[in-house]
Structure 1
Amino acid sequence: MPANLDAPPAIQLNGATEPTTMNPQPSVQNFGEPARPAVPTRNDTTFSKFSTMSVPPEGSILTGKQEHYLKRELISQQTKYEIAELSSPTALRRFGAPFRSDAGEVAPEDSELPLLRYIFVNHVRNFPFLDKAKEKEFWQDKLQVFLESFASKDISSSEDRLEETKRRKLALKAEKLVELMMVSGIPTASGYEERIRFAEMEIVDRQADEKGLTMNTPSGHSINGWDVNVSGVRTTSVKRHLRYHTHAEYLIRVKHDGDKDIYIGRRYADFVQLHKRIRLELPGKVLAPLPRKNAKDGLLQSSVDDDDVSSISSGSTQGPPPPPEPESSGGGGLRSYIFGSGHKKNASQTSLGRRSPRASVDYSAYKAPRKLYREEQRVSLRAFLRSFLHNERIAQSSAMAEFLTRNPIEVNEEEMEDIQRREEMDKKRIEEQRQFYEVARKRAAELDIHMEKFRREIVEANGLSHLFQEIRVKNTIADLKPEYQKFAEWLRIEVAATIYHLFLAEDNSPELFAQAKRIHSLVPYGVLKNVIRIANPAAVMSGVLDLFLAQPFGARSLLQRIFGMAINDGVNSVQKTIDTLGSTRIKDDVLCDKIKAYVQADEGVKEAIRQEAACDNVDMVVTILRSEFFQPELSSQQVEKVFNAYVAWNNAVENVRSRRLSRTASSRSNVSTATNATGQVEKEMRSGAELFAHLKQYLKLCLRQRDKLMMLQIIEEPTTLQLFRDLFTIFYEPLVRVYKSANVYNSITDFAMFADDTIKTIEACQRQEVSADPNQTVQAFIDLCARHEGNFYKFVHEVHKHDNGLFDQLMGWLEGILDFLRHGPGSGGRLDMNALFQGGMDSNLIDKDKAIREINSLIKWQMARKKWHSDKTRQKMASGGDDPDPLMGGIVGFKSSDFGLNAIDLQDLELDDDGSDSTDSEDMDDTDIADPIEAERKSRARAAEKLRRKAGEPKKPPIVELYKLSDGFNSMLRNVLAS
């Protein structure tokens, strides 16, 4: 096969040369496992980076892939250990400088937490604000004391709560980020390190926001089994007292799970009732607000030639020239009273006033536009209804089912014509959206060549510092380098498209625009400007801090009293629930005392109980109650009672029929039972299940009460207040000094002008036929951004000019992280994985065959995992369940590799995040207490759903042999990171 003479140059990443060609190599099975037949000796060390099977380079034991995934597995294991150790009260004492240690100074080579120590010393301690903090006064006497105090309180863990706490979720996220940073940043010594490479990923060209367009389509968009569209509006008359009142009734087309279409009629009040019913049926669920009433009508412009693009707006359209519009007051209200129009300047005419000439139209054939009654309200209610249906629980609720199926109607000919006209309007609106995105995309594409040059400059060493130095020196955008000016032009298009998308393109845009106008009209910009201009924010905040943190004669401060009062209210509320549960539901002081004894026990005892429960595969409550660690001991009758209750509870949760016993006991005992004996058994089972459920609740409530009391102790400690004051001083005062010296108050007026101009532009687009010409619409919003980009640049320039080097320090700090990701530690240290592996073999620490097999099993597992994730992602995108990509295809074409992050490593982080469940709640609401069995069933359903989402995901193979290399690897890791 002839060599490819036009092959692209090799890529330099972390000091390793990565060839970009496909060099054919002999096929070798099992990644070079020694048990296989020997492979002919190679004359060079170039091997296929894209093949899944390759041979080690000459002089090496491991292939590039084997090196990488061995390194990754050992770094992952060390990261898990270090993150878990942070919860230990003695962790910081083993950390090293700047923290205090009982054994004196801990050398970097001796730190038990080398990864976290490196990140702290190089990327936390030298953060521009924290670099001024004193070692003893801040790091040791305040932060270390506070963190050790918090760790010593033994706040309940996920295992105690029987659910995933927020701290646990944060720890998992931190673990993955540290692992990603270290795997990407620390190179191997051979220079041949490589990762699994998928077959070329499908690249989607930048295009219109297809998901957004699909969301607004009149039909064919099924959401959780429901295909709904608010299709039309009719008027109904209702007689009240002496006369008839006219109301708008919205005609909704409904199709459920492949059934035939039906139409229903609902008034606005029915939507209000739906909102209330769902709130009652799903208590605690955060619901989107109902759109406000909107009486605006729409106009559909008809044309003789159907191929002409008609205009859609909420006011008048361009047929005959529209009447002159009165000058907008810019919002009025309180703002107009405070400063009138003093903050406004005569903005240049918008592009709306310089309309490009339209094609010649025969106005003799002009048809008057059709009025569409309550069109904006129809569109906003459709967006509201579809957003509700996107939540599976709401879509399956009885309130939603009744709302969408009760009292179907037959539409008459006139109503069907109205539905068709509105469907035509929807289609034209979507087509205009598509055209807008296409025009904006083409304009952005014209900038691509300049953006590539800009990207290269930023990616280079100190690229961010050069950019901000340019902003510091040049007074206007016109003075910037050409590539920076092109970036500003690209940014202008991005902002214009975002404003259009938010306030014009979507079904809920009228509601969002109305809210923005109301907020803008209420903000007293003049007063705000003068307050910032005259007052000294640093002095004001210092006085406020003195007021809240002062401790007269050693008494508690005001802030402590406020927090203490809030926490005490929570403690008292929990105590009342505990007392009620113990006296009216459990009715056994011995059982309650055993649970309280566990909650107050030392952490070592709790850990032993948790391990015993896991080993015996029983519930924590059972293990606690039968344990001899806590007094008093249970009698044989009580032990039998607890075990029977545990069995009944499991049966009630897992069995649908038993689950319903708690609500329909008396009726079922009369109807469903054949004999009195059967009825008695069911009654005992129900009683036992409820008892065990209440015991579990009792444990959770006691743990929660103890956590609140521990937090109260932390707040009462004087170190907490001192740390709060120091953190405020460190972060707040430098920023205030910058804002004061840069005259930031002038930007308040500039923002008010931008908001006024934006409102005028959007209103003009709504009432004129701007949307008939997509170029015109694009230009209107781009011109809006162009009129105000100078003021924004002036703000950034002034802040950067008077920052006293603060932003230079920030950029230097950020570039320090990027430099580590691109090139590794500053000392140039590398991990010699071949030497590590050879050393393990020479000392008989590992078996070579077993170790190679384990590495290869990790590689195969990662490949299978990526394939599974890729298939799952495609299915999700095909069903419309994936979030759309940014309109313009990301941040000017930057790639993760530009910043030293390998795309495959980022994908691995995404794979690990897939399993996280953000819907779990730590809090127990009233419904959980009223029906604990149902609450447990829902909890198990969430867990089952979590498992379902991960169904088919390949399981990680067991690793034993490789972990024997951990000590040697960690020693090598400390030496690499020590400098």
Structure 2
Amino acid sequence: MDLNPQQLHYFKRELISQQLDKEVSSIKKSTQLSSLVQPTAETAKEYPFLQYLTQNFVLNFPLLKNGNENDFWIKLQSFLDEYSKLKLDNYAPKSARDSQRRVLLYKIEKLLIISLSASIKTVQGTEESIDLLAPATSPKGDEDSLVSKLNLTHLESEERYLEWIGLNGLRLNVITVRDVSEVRTIRQHLHSEFIIETNLVVAEGQDPVPTIYVARRHGQFRQLRDDLKLAFPTLELPGVPSKARDATNKESQHLHREKDRIMLRSFLRRLCAEPLVANSDIFRDFLLNDALQLTPAERKDADLRQKMDQNRSDEEKRFREEVDKKIVELDGLLDMLKTQIMKPNGLIEIFEIIKTTDTIDKLPIELQKAFEWGRINFAFVLHTQFVTSDRSVENVANLKRTHSLMPYRTIAQILKLSNPFSMVKGVLDLFLAQPFGGKSLFQRIMLSNMNEQTKDMQKDIEELELKINDAPLCQKVCNAVKCDKPASLELGKTSPIQETLELLKNPAIEPVLSPQQIIKVAFANQPNKVEARTLVEDLYKLWILYARKQEQELMMSLVFQGVTGDLIKDLFAIFYEPLAQVYKAANIGDTIGHVAAFVNDLIEIVDKLDVEDATNTAQPFIDLVKNHEAKFYQFVHNVHAQDQSKLFDNLLGYVDSLFAFVSHGIPTRIDIELITKEAGITGDDIPVLKKEIDALCAYHYNRKQRHLERKRQKMMTSTDIADNEEIFNFLPENKEVMGVLNDMVEVDYESDDDDDDNSNDGESSLVAHESTIIRPKLVLIPKIAPTFVKHVQNIMQ
């Protein structure tokens, strides 16, 4: 057939996907793990791919093999049985009802496909996946690909990232802070106002719009979020940062409330990244109404702050250049290390050196340089997160709060117990014990994390119900999400307006509407009936919110099921008990103290930094990591040196075998051309088949583009891209391995938190999840799939 490497890759991948879709659909209905864990001749025909992955990748995992396998699988089956009892298929908007679960399942299926695709090799030879980071990857041969003109290594900071994604026609900055005096009753009160600078981006050829300055108090930022939340209740909006409590703001009046200025700027820019918010009248009024002129004193203060912003940017750039310089300097030695890792048993040999070498300075030069590479990269991440990012103040506050809550001493004492079983039991009891029938520490942690979400969700519901001002209509929507979805109804196929009207007409859901209520909503489909349409749109938003609340409550009920606690205990025992003896010998209790000391030192460094001057701040972070890396290495060395059970050798062997398997796959290769002929595809069918394959390549190109577009809109942390870039620098340069990693990137780019952005409620993000892209219609490839599966089954046995 003369397929190029890219056509070959996606043709084979689609054949795998055709079979895997059937197997996943079947196992979802049965939820019986025994079909995979204890295969029979009959189930082997039904689940050839899933059984292969389970037997070769899951059951061979060393820690799982060392545990009580039968009990674990029995409890996991019980958990799945309890999960299947949850009323998740309720009457709710499709996007709101199953978005998170659907995206999670989508990711799992994608990982399975990638694993199988890496395992099954063809006699036709080299395969290539689409790489958006390389030029000319478009199926149309477009050399100006989406990413080839973007230098992703310069996107470490949130500010540069937001410049890259664009702010939907807005360029804004909080440039200064002024104090304003007002008289309340008989006394004067002083309050701060933050001056926002906004530039409207105009199309090429149009006259520029003058810069607009407005002054807003902190409370007005909170009111802005409340107004936006009421207008867009289904959007996930960032919270308004709390006021910073810092004495330096009082001591240095020329940069008064500087931390607040930086955090509020980050808040506004994150709002700008959401198209619906950026283009809303509420947001534009906040930025543009009541414009003012800067006084000379305000302009001088703004200039000082701009210089400070530039200093932070320059410091980050200098640190980035230092990292890049170190990478170039170490490139040759790191290449030697990569080559070593790809050799058979290469990873085991490297850790054998660590096992027999007690300090870093005695390691071979290649490994010393690898630690040096890690040191400066980790220091850069810390510096970015806690110094140069606009969210650094928020990040520091979160670090301090988490650090203060961690029971380091208690954990350390438990881990020092001489009996490994007592050690495991102590940790389990600490997190899972329910004194006097109360909630366990694990449950309290879960509840504390979800309480804030629940409060916000309930507040949104109450505000929206107040706006709708019709209790029976709201109650009908509330009751709907607790009912089974009507069997004859297929959600997601019509408009939100029509779906909501169908819900309201349903007599099986209480309360039944009165004639007056029916008249209020009946004409919502007619464009000229604005009031009725607005009412039904609000009811649809309320439906989504109630569906989210219902799902959260159901999932929380599963968390508090006894079978969930039993499964967590088993997982903990399986994964930790084999490590307990090794960790005991390696003094892991002392290591917990080292972790606490590291965080203490990190907080001390951050507290000593001057918010007004970010220059020369990189070295303390490099020194911090260097000062603690010896203790970290000592722990790693002790763990491997004290491993009498050979557990870590087995783990390394498992990872080493995965590298080898990705490189070489199943020993026997399949012949795609022979399979195609056996399936009866010959002669005039070949050009048609090639068109289907080309359509697949175009589909996957568009899908990866969508991944990147979603990344551009949704990534709000400052190091994700940079971290991935550096990780790729260190991974083995093997075509097979890098091909798999390229496919894995598309999974990383997916979002799991709000896939309901692609709902039809009129409040969706401009870029929907890539799973919404319509797949090409295939006729011949599905006919080839059964023959392909037979051939693969033969080589898998």
Is the 2:100–2:753 contact (alpha carbons within 8 Å) kept by the matching residues of 1?
Answer: no
1:233 partner SS? strand
Matched, 1:293 2:237: no
- 1:858 Cα shift? 1.4
2:306 aligns with 423
Is the 2:90–2:485 contact (alpha carbons within 8 Å) kept by the matching residues of 1?
Answer: no
Structure 2 matches for 1:178-257, cutoff 5 A? 178-191=112-125, 199=135, 202=148, 208-209=154-155, 212=158, 214=160, 223-239=167-183, 244-257=188-201
Supply the AA of the counterpart residue of 1:263.
Y
1:849 aligns with 684
- 1:298 Cα shift? 7.9
- 1:734 Cα shift? 2.9
Is the 1:209–1:437 contact (alpha carbons within 8 Å) kept by the matching residues of 2?
Answer: no
Cα distance in 2, alignment partners of residues 251 and 388 from structure 1: 17
2:622 aligns with 782
2:778 partner SS? coil
2:28 partner SS? coil
- 1:977 Cα shift? 1.6
Cα distance in 1, alignment partners of residues 499 and 274 from structure 2: 33
1:858 aligns with 693
Q: Structure 1 regions of 5+ residues with no counterpart?
A: 1-31, 33-55, 57-61, 100-104, 300-313, 316-369, 551-555, 633-637, 664-685, 923-936
Cα distance in 1, alignment partners of residues 432 and 318 from structure 2: 58
1:262 to 204, 212, 218: 212
Cα distance in 1, alignment partners of residues 277 and 168 from structure 2: 10
1:467 aligns with 350
Is the 1:254–1:263 contact (alpha carbons within 8 Å) kept by the matching residues of 2?
Answer: yes
Structure 1 residues 721, 442: CA separation in 2 closer, same or farther (over 3 Å shift)? closer
Supply the AA of the counterpart residue of 1:451.
L
1:669 aligns with none
Matched, 1:743 2:587: yes
Is the 2:432–2:565 contact (alpha carbons within 8 Å) kept by the matching residues of 1?
Answer: no
1:900 partner SS? helix
Cα distance in 1, alignment partners of residues 491 and 151 from structure 2: 56
2:334 partner SS? helix
Cα distance in 1, alignment partners of residues 177 and 500 from structure 2: 58
Is the 1:128–1:806 contact (alpha carbons within 8 Å) kept by the matching residues of 2?
Answer: yes
1:486 to 366, 369, 393: 369
2:626 partner SS? helix
Q: Greater CA deviation, 828-837 or 893-902? A: 893-902
- 1:470 Cα shift? 2.3
- 1:599 Cα shift? 3.4
1:267-323 alpha-carbon deviations (Å, 9 max, x no partner): 444444445554555557453341423555689xxxxxxxxxxxxxx98xxxxxxxx
Q: Structure 2 regions of 5+ residues with no counterpart?
A: 138-147, 202-207, 448-453, 463-467
Structure having the larger proportion of residues in helix: 2
Supply the AA of the counterpart residue of 1:890.
E
Matched, 1:71 2:4: no
1:189 partner SS? coil
Structure 2 matches for 1:532-571, cutoff 5 A? 532-533=415-416, 536-541=422-427
2:795 aligns with 976
Structure 1 residues 433, 393: CA separation in 2 closer, same or farther (over 3 Å shift)? same
Q: How many residues align?
A: 749
Structure 1 residues 418, 734: CA separation in 2 closer, same or farther (over 3 Å shift)? same
Is the 2:341–2:732 contact (alpha carbons within 8 Å) kept by the matching residues of 1?
Answer: no
1:73-120 alpha-carbon deviations (Å, 9 max, x no partner): 211101111111111227546x35526xxxxx4278x43111110110
Q: Greater CA deviation, 744-753 or 618-627? A: 618-627
1:599 partner SS? coil
Structure 1 residues 518, 210: CA separation in 2 closer, same or farther (over 3 Å shift)? closer
1:251 partner SS? strand
Higher gyration radius (CA): 1
Is the 1:98–1:135 contact (alpha carbons within 8 Å) kept by the matching residues of 2?
Answer: no
Cα distance in 2, alignment partners of residues 281 and 96 from structure 1: 48
Structure 1 residues 408, 429: CA separation in 2 closer, same or farther (over 3 Å shift)? same
1:630-677 alpha-carbon deviations (Å, 9 max, x no partner): 999xxxxx9xx9xx989976x62573x4242366xxxxxxxxxxxxxx
Structure 1 residues 427, 598: CA separation in 2 closer, same or farther (over 3 Å shift)? closer
1:437 partner SS? helix
2:293 aligns with 410
Is the 1:97–1:106 contact (alpha carbons within 8 Å) kept by the matching residues of 2?
Answer: no
Structure 1 residues 196, 539: CA separation in 2 closer, same or farther (over 3 Å shift)? closer
Cα distance in 2, alignment partners of residues 174 and 506 from structure 1: 33
Structure 1 residues 235, 177: CA separation in 2 closer, same or farther (over 3 Å shift)? same
Is the 1:249–1:267 contact (alpha carbons within 8 Å) kept by the matching residues of 2?
Answer: yes
1:23 aligns with none
Cα distance in 1, alignment partners of residues 13 and 4 from structure 2: 14
Cα distance in 1, alignment partners of residues 85 and 547 from structure 2: 18
Cα distance in 2, alignment partners of residues 824 and 83 from structure 1: 23
- 1:63 Cα shift? 6.8
Supply the AA of the counterpart residue of 1:262.
I
- 1:964 Cα shift? 2.1
Structure 1 residues 531, 941: CA separation in 2 closer, same or farther (over 3 Å shift)? same
Supply the AA of the counterpart residue of 1:255.
N
Cα distance in 2, alignment partners of residues 613 and 502 from structure 1: 40
Q: Greater CA deviation, 113-122 or 832-841? A: 832-841
Structure 1 residues 711, 78: CA separation in 2 closer, same or farther (over 3 Å shift)? farther
Cα distance in 1, alignment partners of residues 554 and 309 from structure 2: 58
Cα distance in 2, alignment partners of residues 877 and 861 from structure 1: 24
Cα distance in 2, alignment partners of residues 229 and 461 from structure 1: 55
- 1:486 Cα shift? 0.3
Is the 2:498–2:525 contact (alpha carbons within 8 Å) kept by the matching residues of 1?
Answer: no
Cα distance in 1, alignment partners of residues 782 and 282 from structure 2: 55
Is the 1:738–1:799 contact (alpha carbons within 8 Å) kept by the matching residues of 2?
Answer: yes
2:665 to 812, 824, 828: 824
**TM superposition score normalised by structure 1:** 0.63
1:730 aligns with 574
Supply the AA of the counterpart residue of 2:14.
E
2:63 aligns with 129
- 1:231 Cα shift? 1.9
Matched, 1:891 2:727: yes
Structure 1 residues 839, 259: CA separation in 2 closer, same or farther (over 3 Å shift)? same
Matched, 1:940 2:761: yes
Is the 1:213–1:430 contact (alpha carbons within 8 Å) kept by the matching residues of 2?
Answer: no
1:661 to 532, 553, 568: 532
Structure 1 residues 476, 277: CA separation in 2 closer, same or farther (over 3 Å shift)? same
Cα distance in 2, alignment partners of residues 622 and 515 from structure 1: 44
Structure 2 matches for 1:36-75, cutoff 5 A? 56=2, 67-75=8-16
Cα distance in 2, alignment partners of residues 618 and 878 from structure 1: 27
- 1:959 Cα shift? 2.0
Is the 2:193–2:215 contact (alpha carbons within 8 Å) kept by the matching residues of 1?
Answer: yes
Supply the AA of the counterpart residue of 2:49.
L
Supply the AA of the counterpart residue of 1:976.
I
1:748 partner SS? helix
Cα distance in 1, alignment partners of residues 707 and 365 from structure 2: 43
2:30 partner SS? coil
Cα distance in 1, alignment partners of residues 482 and 607 from structure 2: 67
Is the 1:714–1:720 contact (alpha carbons within 8 Å) kept by the matching residues of 2?
Answer: yes
**TM superposition score normalised by structure 2:** 0.76
Bigger relative contact order (CA 8 A; separation at least 6): 2
Is the 1:196–1:863 contact (alpha carbons within 8 Å) kept by the matching residues of 2?
Answer: no
- 1:488 Cα shift? 0.3
Cα distance in 2, alignment partners of residues 611 and 533 from structure 1: 58
1:442-484 alpha-carbon deviations (Å, 9 max, x no partner): 2332111111112212222223322322222211111212111
2:28 aligns with 87
Matched, 1:156 2:89: yes
Structure 1 residues 646, 200: CA separation in 2 closer, same or farther (over 3 Å shift)? farther
1:831 partner SS? coil
Structure 1 residues 812, 971: CA separation in 2 closer, same or farther (over 3 Å shift)? same
2:216 partner SS? strand
Matched, 1:811 2:649: no
Matched, 1:503 2:386: yes
1:37 aligns with none
Supply the AA of the counterpart residue of 1:891.
I
Cα distance in 2, alignment partners of residues 832 and 509 from structure 1: 55
2:529 partner SS? helix
